Amino acid sequence: MGWDNLYASAFERVRANIDMVGKVLLAYNTNIDAIKYLQREDLEVRIEKAGQEEVLHYAEELPRRIESVPQLLGSILWSIGRGKAAELFVESCSTRFYMKRWGWDELRMGGQVGIMANLLGGVYGVPVIAHVPQLSRLQAELFKEGPIYVPKGEGENLELVHPKEFKADEENCIHYIYEFPRGFRVLDFEAPRENRFIGSADDYNPNVVIRPEFEEQFEEIAANAELAILSGLQALTEENYRGPLKTVKAHLDILEEKGIPVHLEFAFTPDETVRKAFVGILGKFWSVGLNEVELASVMNVMGEKAIAEKLLASDPVDPIAVTEAMLKLAKKTGVRRIHFHTYGYYFALTDYRGEFVRDALLFAALAAAAKAKLGDIRNIDDVVKAMDVPVNEKAEGVGEALTKVYDMENGIAEVNGYQLAFIPTKIVAKPRSTVGIGDTISSSAFVGEFALR
């Protein structure tokens, strides 16, 4: 059967069965993304007012965190000049106030939990319970309608309500995203490619501040769930990771006791100590999702430098090197499922077998292509609108290598006691949006797999 037929049949089966999936618990990060499209004149006036000389100083070297307006503007110039993304914590209240008054063009749901809650609950209709560190009115408005819940109250009064019904008016956790197109010019700077600088006015998510209900009543909250996805631990550092890690472990113990499969969405974690600690607890998870950069970074802390280098050496990423890396990770940690995604193809290495694993990947790839094509997926029927996006040609060579080395057939092979599922993805040539596409892929594949069981 050709890939297009496999895609079509996987989608039909997931759509027919997705309402069988019970509540999915999502923790920990939710925030508000405030997007500002930079304008040359506006920025030049602001730089002039803040003091050009000081601003230019920070355009040379990024500060560790932002404590003043010149640091903010300098950091934006740093990003523009290099065409590189950067994200810094904004410490000072007066700079936060400055950013607020500067304003935004668009507000979007931010944080992996927020994005997945809107996709699973708001688009697929799969009920979710979300951890939202601070639920302000602005934050609440960014949740779609649908079976999206947050726990409210305590003891016998603990109930699940839609975020809009929570009405506690807590703080705003805003990530100010300053976007510029390729070729954007200001002073002597010109952007070699489009990108963004992010200033986070957020005291909660970077430190993984966990809500009291989730500290004290996690048993009761988890009793409602059938699956769980954890994410948002990537900003932790050697200095602040111990407290959150202890809570995460306690949560994992409770979830394990209840037999709830948990997926870890592994975003890039710069701090090596923290990354090592995650590898140390990976065996408590059913599943983990990562891309090539993240897999290479994990290989690095496992002492597998040669394989880490191989993972970043070619485009498309060498599938044999990826398989070897996944096998090492699975054997070392005991995690049951590893979902790898890269531009062009996905893998799932599982210690269980069945075509449904591959079919869930196909559903996820269709969802990712729909997201790239449409910008926003409004309902599950939008997903099928990506059927006309062609399957990536570059992945042909990848498929051939897998057939040769592992005798793969229809995207499934047996490798060292594991099942390896492979799919070539559909790539949208001119994407409308790729924000949160990794979260779309991982949550669709994980939940899709349980819909097909």
Q: Which residues are catalytic?
A: 439
Q: Which of 127-135, 399-407, 422-430, 443-451 is the region at the interface with ligand ADP (rule: CB under 6 A)?
A: 422-430
* 195 near ligand ADP, rule: CB under 6 A: no
State the nearest-atom distance from the C-beta of 388 to ligand ADP, in Å: 13
Nearest CB to ligand ADP, comparing residues 13 and 339: 339
Q: Which is nearer to ligand ADP, 77 or 428 (CB)?
A: 428
Torsion of CA 339, 305, 298, 351, to 10 degrees: 40
Least distance from ligand ADP to the Cβ atom of residue 368, Å: 5
Residues linked to residue 418 through DSSP beta bridges, in sequence order: 415
The number of residues that bind ligand ADP (CB under 6 A) is 16
CB 261 within 8 A of CB 228: yes
273-293 core/surface letters (b: 16 or more CB in 10 A; e: else): ebbebbbeebebbbbbbbbbe
Show Cβ contacts of residue 399 under 8 Å, excluding neighbours closer than 6 positions.
408, 411, 422, 424
Q: How far is the CB of 343 from ligand ADP (least distance, A)?
A: 5
CB of 56 to ligand ADP, least distance (A): 30
Nearer to ligand ADP by Cβ, of 31 and 342: the residue is 342
Which helix (H) or strand (E) is 251 found in, with range? helix 242-257
| Residue span 67-86 as binding mask against ligand ADP, x where in contact by CB under 6 A, dash where not | --------------------
Q: Which stretch binds ligand ADP (CB under 6 A): 170-178, 279-287, 325-333, 424-432?
A: 424-432
Closest to ligand ADP by CB, 95 vs 291, is: 291
SS3 content of the chain, % helix, strand, coil (to 5): 45, 20, 35
Between residue 360 and residue 399, which ones bind ligand ADP under the rule CB under 6 A? 368-369, 372
Residues across the chain? 453
In 3D, which of 53, 32, 438, 350 has the Cα closest to residue 200? 32
Residue nearest to ligand ADP (CB): 438
Closest distance to ligand ADP from the beta carbon of 346 (Å): 7
CB distance 25 to 229 below 8 Å: yes
Q: CA 291, 293, 297 angle in degrees (round to 5)? A: 115
Site string for ligand ADP, 426-445 (x = CB under 6 A): -xx--x--x-xxxx------
What is the rounded distance in angstroms from the CA atom of residue 59 to the CA atom of residue 80?
A: 9
**Segment 284 to 343, residues that bind ligand ADP, using CB under 6 A:** 291, 341-343
Residues that bind ligand ADP (CB under 6 A): 291, 341-343, 368-369, 372, 425, 427-428, 431, 434, 436-439
